[in-house]
A and B are shown apart, each in its own frame.
Chain A
Amino acid sequence: MRFFRLTLPLIIVFLFGLFGLGIQYSAHPWTAETKETLALWIKLIGGVAALLGIYSLIRLHVNKVRRRDEGWGYSTFFFLGFGIMAAALIYNGGQWFWNGFVQDTAFDQLYYYLFEAAGATMFSLLGFFIASAAVRTFRARSMEATLLLAAAIIVMLGRAPLGEMITGYFPRVQEWIMAIPNTAAKRGVGLGICLGLLGMSFRIIFGVERSYLGGGAR
């Protein structure tokens, strides 16, 4: 049974890993068709598997309500939001869900006036938090911190028209910082990350890394 639970999946990983690597180096017309077919298969697997995410989130809130966990009342709002969206999608402006999606229906209104508004505002809270964090903790305590602070101030003033009004050097020096030291540092970091990712890819293909298989994969 261990063969079917662990060994065979690892063999599949190995074979398809080598196949995925090798297919990039072939110019044969068959490889183009194969890549297209496999891409379509992966799309379909992903589309069906998305049900997992939907089910998991619904189950989480159902359990919360059933067990009367702390804050269970808020889960009713979750069901309210999901319910009205699902109803709008099923009704689909009178065309029902088995026909093509109809524009400018209740779904679009809910999306624009509720989902977009709430989401955009939620993320805009970060603007306030980053401002307060900068004011309360940004101190030139050391050489490194001073460099960071100086670069941040130059970039902030350089990106806003205010900097250009003070002196034309702010936008120019800002561009220079992005093009030279920032590029150099990000390239160094990126090369390191990329080498790490390559190592991880090979570890997965050769079965050293098995965490993606879930529990009992050791």
Chain B
Amino acid sequence: MTEKDKNTLILAVCVAVFIGANIVLFITGHFPSRTGGVPDWGQTLGLMAAALMSFAMFSFLYRDNPIFRAVENLFVGLGLGVTLYVMWYLNLKPEVYDRLISPMLDPSVDVPGADLVLIIPVLMGVMMLTRLSGRHGWISRYPIAFLVGYGSGFSIQPMIHSLILKQVEKTIVPVQMSAAAWGLCALVAVVAVLGAYAASKGGRLAVGLKIAAAAVALAYVIAANTPSLNARPQLAEAFRAVDLLLIVLGVLCVLCYFFFSAEHKGALGAASRVGIIFLMVAFGATFGYTVMARESLVIGRIQFLLGDWLGLL
């Protein structure tokens, strides 16, 4: 059997199983129906179509195939239709047609002066369309200049306030340092120095130091998240203090890592290596969340196929 014959057979079997399943589901009354037992054809055909679209997309997992490509292009076309809906019903109709054009077509309605001014931005939008012309495309630079210039200037103050000042403000906070907090800080500082030193050296001593540093770090993390230890106010305060200091350390070291104007050696090199540790933990956490997100999407589709289509849930 050639590869082509094998694929054709697989396709034929899948289509036959899909059609058979739908027939069985329809006969056994799994699909929605209206009062009096009349099938709700809209929902019935819709569910079949949705299941077909889902399986067509899933077929890509086996291999790239024409059915997947066809449904992919169908999806792009449908998406453009949604854009058309948004453009007309949500934007142009209420903002332009209802406020400007419809009153103009009705002579009895007097368009207020304020609304006639809207012709200017509409014309600017039309100027944007000249971008399609090679010869007259420069006209589109005027509305673009307005949009980009105003947008750039407008964003500066909120960026500085929300993304810089507020972030820095909460990084450098006053910390209540009890004896326990000092002790823990000293421990964290020793671990950080040992870890940075070990990372820059080789040999068995370095490996031993790395393992020791990792063990102390792990012990701190477990202790800081143990309810019985956190129930003691002094310890809880110490843990919070160290956590805050860890945030300061992390932010500064990560910024050092991304500072490329000087060579990463000496103190800057040590700080950037500590920064790498923070970045790796953050990337690992991000990966964990990403796995969760993607698996949730699969779960959603399986819930639809088993629940809405097959009626098994």
Contacts and interface: CB of A to CB of B under 8 A. Distances in A.
| Physical contact A–B (CB less than 8 Å) | yes
B210 interface: yes
Contacts of A62: none
DSSP class of B's interface residues: helix, strand, loop or mixed? helix
A188 to B, nearest CB: 3
B131 A184 contact: no
B225 interface: yes
Interface stretch (B13-21, B22-30, B145-153): B145-153
Given A44-B125, A85-B78, A201-B152, A185 B70 contact: no
Interface in A22-38: 22-25, 38
Nearest to A186: B282
A127 to B, nearest CB: 4
B300 A20 contact: no
B20 to A, nearest CB: 20
A45 B121 contact: yes
Interface residues of B, number: 127
Interface string A93-116: 000011011000001011111111
Given A82-B78, A182-B285, A188-B255, A127 B95 contact: no
B84 A125 contact: no
A165 interface: no
A143 B199 contact: yes
Nearest to A145: B280
Contacts of A117: 49-51, 53-54, 304
B249 interface: yes
B74 A78 contact: yes
A9 B150 contact: no
Interface of A: 4-6, 8-10, 12-25, 38, 40-58, 71, 74-75, 77-86, 88-89, 97-98, 100-101, 107, 109-131, 134, 143-145, 147-156, 158-160, 169, 172-192, 194-195, 197-198, 200-202, 204-205, 212-217
